[in-house]
Amino acid sequence: MSAAPPLLPEQSASPLAEWDSVAVRYPYAARDAVGPVSHLVGRGERVLLLGPSGSGKSTLLWTLTGIVPQTVPATVQGHVRIGGVDVAGRPPAGWADAVAHLFQDAEHTLTGLRVADEIAFALENRGLQETEIEARTRAVMARVGLPETWRDRRTSTLSGGEKQLVALAATLIADAPLFVADEPTASLAPAAARRVYDLVLNDLGNGGVLIVDHRLDAMIGAIDRVAVLDDHGALVAEGPPAALFRMHGDRLDAEGIWTPLASRFDRALVKADLAPARPALTMEQLGRHLAHLSTDAADRARAIIAKTAAPMLPRRRTPGARVVQLQGAACAPLFGPIVLRDVTMEIAAGEIVGIVGANGAGKSTLGASLAGLLRLKAGRRDGLPGAIAFQNPENQFLEANVHDELAAALPKDTAEDRIADILGRWGLGDVVRQHPYELSQGQKRRLALACLTAADRWPLIVLDEPTSGLDARGVKTIVDAVDTLADDGRAIAIIAHDMDFALAVCDRLVVLADGGIIAEGAPSEILHDAALLARADLAPPAILPVLDWMDRVTC
């Protein structure tokens, strides 16, 4: 068998990746999943692909190496090229030397081996010498921040965020010219997410990066170009990020597509003729502009920013009676060792409590213990059983289509009109006959949450990373749903890595580190404690500098 021809040499004028009038339609679908799209990724270029949930972003990435249609059946129109070579000329595995693809779900990268074997797997398939494989494995583990003690751990024992870091290392080790990342930080704590962006977006050389992500604020300053898909999968905007978000940001906001936080304030200031001449893309840029405003201009800007920030801040609630309490609890995952000791906490009716901390700190274990799904190794739990929305929404699906999945969660005599209304409110009205596994990750998460919250049977609801993979409209739906549940007297525990989301919805934060609870209090207090955040591998919310500036400006 002859070897596949190498990717075009570095001096080639061909782009690293190119989609030429590409459209994809899955079997039995009424419309295209994405396209037609004409787009490219140049050498040395960092490109961000945005769009609402279900717009076909992942599908477009899968066409890049022929996973669609060679592995996942579909009809593909147009041409996809890598380095000027048509993708259809090789099987998907034949592009491993050209494209490193980090999938949205880490389980699609991992195979259940030991951590070191997972990372070395790609190099072993390429027949490299054992000494080189070992050296490169150790080097990439150090780059990603994986401790040597993890080498012999089975990936099945890792938390969701820890699996994502191992999958990242297993992808980076290939050292391919084009790195493609689909939601690479969705399950990562903020500080870990920043380290990932540093790894992925810096030191490109003549390579390129194509990234799909919703957490924009920590990485938007490193992006060269943005491409935006609408909810029908058509390319509707493209260009340098600062100009694109100022020109098209209002439309993107209206369509539920994430925009950087600084750009939202920037556009509000534009309408009052108070914006900087060059669009503010990062909070640092916005802060420098605000710091140099005159007293009169600062007062006017403060009023505009306060109005813009209002939906991102929590409203105060008065909690009711205690719903669940842990006393001196020792918490452990199923068949695993104790990860949290001497945990004492409670949640009251109508209260929203955020559980935050580093990847592997025990957040999911604590959430399942609160809900009564895990038996404590020591201590005591008082309260009725609760329900939990798992980090992976597929773990909750049992039925053959979206309609039946929701219907199974409701009383048997529930009217069809009510089912249709619930699906419509969660943005799932047009996928009622699709299998849950056919949905995008954002749609899967919304379906899981709709099923969990539609019935009135649970006094306590635990949401494990409820915003992971969601577009801005989906997160707004979550915020509204959580507020409604709290108003109805439910106790809510939210495991969160998005600190802006935690600040916006939570009445109280519980911080985990070092095998227990190290802090507990109001979000505004916790998120201002730099030493505490560093200890817990967290980062302050992006909005915090603007809130602090508002406090310093006297109206």
Give the dihedral of Cα atoms 141, 363, 114, 61; nearest 10 deg.
-70
pLDDT confidence of residue 366: 98
Of the pLDDT bands very low, low, confident and very high (cuts 50, 70, 90), residue 455 is confident
Closest CA to 34 of 49, 23, 26: 23
**pLDDT digit string, tens, across residues 230-263:** 999 999 999 999 999 999 999 999 999 999 999 9
**Nearest-10 Cα torsion for 288, 291, 297, 300:** 90
Residue type, 220: I
- Of 1-5, 74-78, 225-229, 358-362, where does mean pLDDT reach its minimum? 1-5
Q: Residues 500-542: pLDDT tens digits? A: 999 999 999 999 999 999 999 999 999 999 999 999 999 999 9
160 CA to centre of own chain: 12
> Does the pLDDT of residue 1 top 60, yes or no?
no
- Rounded-to-integer distance, Cα 229 and Cα 238, Å: 9
Percent of the residues in the chain that have a pLDDT greater than 70, as a whole number: 97
Confidence (pLDDT) at 3? 41
In 384-489, which ranges are E strands? 387-389, 460-464
Give the pLDDT score at 156: 87
Q: Say how many CA atoms lie within 13 Å of 463 toward its Cβ.
A: 32
Please state the rounded mean pLDDT for residues 191-212: 86
Per-residue pLDDT tens digits for 437-453: 988 878 888 899 899 88
- Spell out the residues 6+ positions from residue 352 whose beta carbon is closer than 8 angstroms to its own: 317, 482, 486, 492, 494, 505, 506, 507, 508
Which pLDDT value is given to residue 290?
96
* C-alpha 210 chain-centroid distance: 16
Q: From CA 100, how far away is CA 65, in angstroms rounded?
A: 10
Sign of CA dihedral 147, 149, 155, 157: negative
Sheet arrangement for strand 208-212 = 99-102, 178-182, 208-212, 46-50, 225-229, 235-239
Could you count the other beta carbons within 10 Å of the beta carbon of residue 208? 24
Report pLDDT for 13. Answer: 73
> First CA to last CA across the chain, in angstroms?
75
Residue with tokens 């997972």: 118
- Read off the DSSP letter of residue 188: S
The pairing of beta strand 208-212 with beta strand 225-229:
unpaired
Residue 553 clears pLDDT 70, i.e. is over it:
yes
Residue at 20: amino acid letter: D
Which residue type occupies 472?
A: A
In what order do the strands lie in the sheet containing 387-389? Answer: 387-389, 460-464, 491-495, 352-357, 508-513, 516-521
Q: Whole-prediction pTM value?
A: 0.89
Return d(Cα 303, Cα 429) in angstroms, integer: 38
Tens of pLDDT, residue by residue over 94-141, are 998 899 999 988 888 888 789 999 999 989 988 899 999 999 999 999
Arithmetic mean of pLDDT, 366-388: 96
Average pLDDT of the residues of the chain: 92
Alpha-carbon span 241 to 223, nearest angstrom: 7
Instruction: List phi, psi (to 5°) of 208.
Output: -145, 160
Q: DSSP label at 311?
A: G
Asked if the model's pLDDT at residue 6 lies above 60, the reply is no
Report which of residues 106 and 79 the model is more confident about: 79
Residue 10 to residues 82, 88, 172, 305: CA-CA distances in angstroms? 13, 22, 19, 47
Confidence of residue 8 (pLDDT cuts 50, 70, 90): very low
Pick from 269, 265, 273: nearest CA to 308: 265
277-335 pLDDT tens trace: 999 999 999 999 999 999 999 999 999 999 999 988 887 788 999 999 999 999 999 88
Does residue 2 surpass a pLDDT of 60?
no
Backbone angles phi, psi at 481, to 5 degrees: -65, -45
How many Å apart are CA 384 and CA 2, to the nearest integer?
65
